Amino acid sequence: MLKRTIGRDARWLRGAGAPSSPFAPPRGRRPLPATGVKSRGAFILTLAGLALSGCARNAPLDARVDQLAADLAEVEALGAMRCAPRELAIAQSQLEFARLEREQGDTARSLAHLDVGDENVRAAKLLAAPALCATPPEVTGPSAPPPAP
């Protein structure tokens, strides 16, 4: 059946048995059904929806990225640069990679980077805890004036 159809189309393309009008459909083929206004509208709406969904941002992923950034800021303030530099470097790198993958539209990879980042932030938080990461005595200049009696 398929072979026969192809053969007929090929003959038509070669000019053998071509229809009288150049715009007329080949013989034996039914014309396409006319699309109504309703179905055309639905088609356009579907296309628009698809286009918008492509542009839409992944809210849960964005929330996780923001959360990791906030956690990183917190551990940095705790002194992670001094007490957990390795973990901090890994977490910061993973956050950057997660953002890169998000831009490229690879949500799964972005999430994988966020997982590694989260683990390292947790480790940095432990290492930078005040009990483990005491601030070294600050060297000050001239002694402060004695408190007033």
Partner 1 sequence: MPRLQVPFALVPLLFGCGSAVYAVRATRASDELARAEQLGAARRAPYEYQFALEHFEKARSEALEADYGAAIRLAEVAREYAHRAVLLAQRVERADPGGVSITP
**Which stretches of the chain bind partner 1, using CB under 8 A?**
81, 85-86, 88-90, 92-94, 97, 100, 104
Q: Give the 3-state secondary structure of 95-117.
A: HHHHHHHHHHCCHHHHHHHHHHH
The most distant pair of C-alpha atoms in the chain lies apart, rounded to whole Å, by 116
Determine the Cα–Cα distance for residues 88 and 75; give it in Å rounded to an integer. Answer: 8
Q: 78 vs 35, 53, 59, 104, 125, CA distance in Å?
A: 66, 40, 29, 33, 8
Query: Considering beta carbons, is residue 67 or 93 the nearer one to partner 1?
Result: 93
Query: Considering beta carbons, is residue 63 or 100 the nearer one to partner 1?
Result: 100
User: Taking the complex as a whole, how short is the minimal distance between the CB of residue 62 and partner 1, in angstroms?
Assistant: 20
Query: Considering beta carbons, is residue 48 or 100 the nearer one to partner 1?
Result: 100
User: Taking the complex as a whole, how short is the minimal distance between the CB of residue 94 and partner 1, in angstroms?
Assistant: 7
User: Taking the complex as a whole, how short is the minimal distance between the CB of residue 92 and partner 1, in angstroms?
Assistant: 7
